[in-house]
Amino acid sequence: MMTAKSNSQTRRALHSPKSGFLWGASTSCFQIEGAAHIDGRGDSIWDVYCRQQGRVKDGDTGEVACDHYHRYAEDVALMRDMGLDAYRFSIAWPRVLPTGRGAANEPGLAFYDRLVDALLAANIEPWICLYHWDLPQALDDVGGWQNRDIAGWFADYAALIGRRYGDRVKRFATFNEPCVFTLFGYGFGWHAPGIADKAALHKAIHHVNLSHGAAIDALRSAVRDVSVGAVHNRQPCYTATPGPDDEAAARRFSVYWNDAFPHPQHFACYPPALAEAIEPYLRPGDMAQIARPVDWFGLNHYSPHYIKADSNLLGATFGAPPAEVPRTSIGWPIVPGAFRDTLLDLHRQFRVPIYVMENGTASEDQLDSRGAVQDDNRILYLRAYTDAMNEAIAAGADVRGYFVWSLLDNFEWGSGYSQRFGLVYVDFATQRRIPKASARWYSDVIAAKRSARVSVAAHVPAEAVAAQS
Ligand code: IFM
């Protein structure tokens, strides 16, 4: 087994971020790791939520998931065979700090040592995300994201992770999709911890923003040459039907979805439509703590939204796209042009390098009689969306990398295991992994880009190649 100590050569070779355009894949701990009660891991809010009847489709849980905790070496080999440059995963906060603060859990920390070392040995750059929705239940018991003290707990957790892995990992994201876990978890009650309350939502938004800034500072102190950012959704919010009610609903929804986090984090103020609701929780100095400089913007984008008016606390919810707009098997509209426009808009507004940290599609994948998975829908989707990204790059957007969601079929939150997003099919009964046709397609795309880079490099000066890649 390669350990943190035994691979110092690999570490030396790879301890700075990879340059050039990165092709990768993303996952998150709760969705793939399993081993929910092994080696001292504490409960997360999602473990508890899954145990509540009727919360998750078919009563599915994260107890076993893809058993990645035990099968990570096989999963890294799949990534290496695909030719991935980079892999984004998240750390399970309750695995490394079972009650969210206090004494660290060495077996939990050692798991991520093994994973990081295996990735480096396969020449794959690890990207760590600190938080992908699995809050330690013990912290939720004392208010979770509604408790302002969480900014300090999160900063301590970030420092622990930075100190432990920062010799080998340079890319860190604070949060994945803060708009989703706050809106769905505290606004609509669709995700853990299952709350639907306006004050809870606004407190959670502000405390997540404070925690982001505190973690950025902690990572910068703990890790030399660190490269930090956060991962946000940005999706145009169109109206489901013409008319003033849906139009107002779409505008309101967009503030919570697109602006509630990037705005304060980059511009040191809340969007005007949110300022009054946040005001009761704001203290002097907060905005400066939130708006810490970052090195890049992580973008998750799958589709535009079609929003309609509703009686929920936002007065807005998801509506249906027009009949002529094609949809994926999970019902999400397929509009690659909206992805291109989002990238260009992001570039114009934020002026930092962009990494697409999630893009992909669910599809009703099945093993055929030869034991293969011919997921043509996914290939068509990924081709259309990567073409759209290339158009944005050609028009000037500073996009530096693209990560498919997801490496593996996995636990899709409230939908349980019913929605398959992976490049690799997982037979959940046996845990057998079968790369789908899309994995071969993606691998060919990466190989073609790489050989184009090499053949250009043979004929033109190095600076010109760097500018291209
Ligand atoms: O599975 C999720 C992921 O956890 C966050 N972004 C969207 C994916 C697909 O729904």
User: 87 with 18: CB under 8 angstroms?
Assistant: no
pLDDT band at 13 (very low <50, low <70, confident <90, very high): very low
Average pLDDT over residues 142-148: 98
pLDDT band at 454 (very low <50, low <70, confident <90, very high): low
Degrees to nearest 5, angle at CA 364 with 359 and 368: 120
Reduced to 3 states, what is the DSSP secondary structure of residue 224? coil
Average pLDDT over residues 391-408: 98
List own/partner pairs for 439-446 with CB under 8 A and 24 or more apart.
439/78, 439/82, 441/379, 441/382, 441/383, 442/23, 442/82, 442/382, 442/404, 443/81, 443/82, 443/83, 445/23, 445/386, 446/23, 446/82, 446/83, 446/84, 446/85
Residues annotated as part of the active site: 177, 358
Cα-Cα-Cα-Cα torsion 19, 20, 23, 24, nearest 10 degrees, comes to 10
Q: Residue 4's pLDDT is what?
A: 40
Q: What is the pLDDT of residues 301-360, one digit of tens each?
A: 999 999 999 999 999 999 999 999 999 999 999 999 999 999 999 999 999 999 999 999
Residues near 442 by Cβ (< 8 Å), separated by ≥ 6?
Answer: 23, 82, 382, 404, 423
CA-wise closest residue to 197 among 313, 283, 43, 305 = 313
Residue 409 Cβ < 6 Å to ligand 1: no
List own/partner pairs for 47-53 with CB under 8 A and 24 or more apart.
47/137, 48/137, 48/140, 48/192, 48/193, 49/191, 49/192, 49/193, 49/194, 52/194
C-alpha distance from residue 391 to each of 113, 336, 341, 386, 457 (Å): 38, 10, 9, 9, 23
113 Rama class: left (phi>0) / alpha (psi -120 to 50) / beta: alpha
Residue 412 Cβ < 6 Å to ligand 1: yes
C-alpha distance from residue 208 to each of 155, 214, 381, 437 (Å): 11, 10, 33, 39
Residue 177 Cβ < 6 Å to ligand 1: yes
Per the DSSP assignment, residues forming a β-bridge with 318 are 307
Per the DSSP assignment, residues forming a β-bridge with 401 are 22, 355
C-alpha distance from residue 110 to each of 4, 28, 34, 105, 180 (Å): 9, 18, 16, 9, 30
Q: Residue 331's pLDDT is what?
A: 94
Is beta strand 305-309 parallel, antiparallel or unpaired with respect to 316-318?
antiparallel
User: 277 with 203: CB under 8 angstroms?
Assistant: no
Residue 358 Cβ < 6 Å to ligand 1: yes
Residue 60 Cβ < 6 Å to ligand 1: no
Average pLDDT over residues 110-122: 98
Residue 235 Cβ < 6 Å to ligand 1: no
Residue 342 Cβ < 6 Å to ligand 1: no
What single-letter DSSP state applies at residue 432? E
Query: Residue 160 belongs to a domain with what CATH number?
Result: 3.20.20.80
* Strand boundaries in 383-443, DSSP class E: 399-405, 424-427, 432-435
Tokens of 22: 């990165």
Residue 256 identity (one-letter amino acid):
Y
> What is the C-alpha separation between 356 and 24, in angstroms, rounded?
10
* Ligand 1 atom 9: residue of nearest CA: 412
> What is the C-alpha separation between 72 and 317, in angstroms, rounded?
38
Q: What is the pLDDT of residues 53-99, one digit of tens each?
A: 999 999 999 999 999 999 999 999 999 999 999 999 999 999 999 99
CA of 359 to the centre of ligand 1 (A): 9
CA of 2 to the centre of ligand 1 (A): 31
State how far Cα 236 lies from the chain centre. 18
CA of 412 to the centre of ligand 1 (A): 7
pLDDT band at 364 (very low <50, low <70, confident <90, very high): very high
Residues near 14 by Cβ (< 8 Å), separated by ≥ 6?
Answer: 120, 123, 125, 168
Give the range of the structural domain holding residue 432, as residue numbers without chain letter: 4-468
Other Cβ atoms closer than 10 A to 50: 22
CA of 414 to the centre of ligand 1 (A): 11
Q: Residue 455's pLDDT is what?
A: 63
Mean pLDDT of all residues in the chain?
94
Structural domain tally of the chain? 1
By most ligand atoms within 8 Å of CB, the mutation choice from 30, 183, 405, 406 for ligand 1 is: 405
Q: Residue 450's pLDDT is what?
A: 87
Q: Residue 458's pLDDT is what?
A: 54
pTM, two decimal places:
0.94
Degrees to nearest 5, angle at CA 242 with 240 and 246: 55
CA-wise closest residue to 361 among 344, 380, 343, 348 = 380
Q: Residue 453's pLDDT is what?
A: 73
* Ligand 1 atom 1: residue of nearest CA: 412
Residue 300 Cβ < 6 Å to ligand 1: yes
> What is the C-alpha separation between 358 and 304, in angstroms, rounded?
14
* Ligand 1 atom 2: residue of nearest CA: 412
| Phi, then psi, of 89 in degrees rounded to 5 | -130, 165
User: In angstroms, how far is the first alpha carbon of the chain from the final one?
Assistant: 35
CA-wise closest residue to 169 among 216, 218, 127 = 127
Tokens of 6: 């035994």
CA of 459 to the centre of ligand 1 (A): 41
Average pLDDT over residues 425-429: 98
pLDDT band at 425 (very low <50, low <70, confident <90, very high): very high
Is residue 9 scored above 70 in pLDDT?
Answer: no
Q: What is the DSSP string of 266-297?
A: HHSS--HHHHHHHGGG--TTHHHHH----SEE
Reduced to 3 states, what is the DSSP secondary structure of residue 70? helix
Q: What is the pLDDT of residues 180-200, one digit of tens each?
A: 999 999 999 999 999 999 999
* Strand boundaries in 100-186, DSSP class E: 125-131, 171-176
> What is the C-alpha separation between 195 and 286, in angstroms, rounded?
25
Task: Give the percent of the chain with pLDDT over 70.
Answer: 93
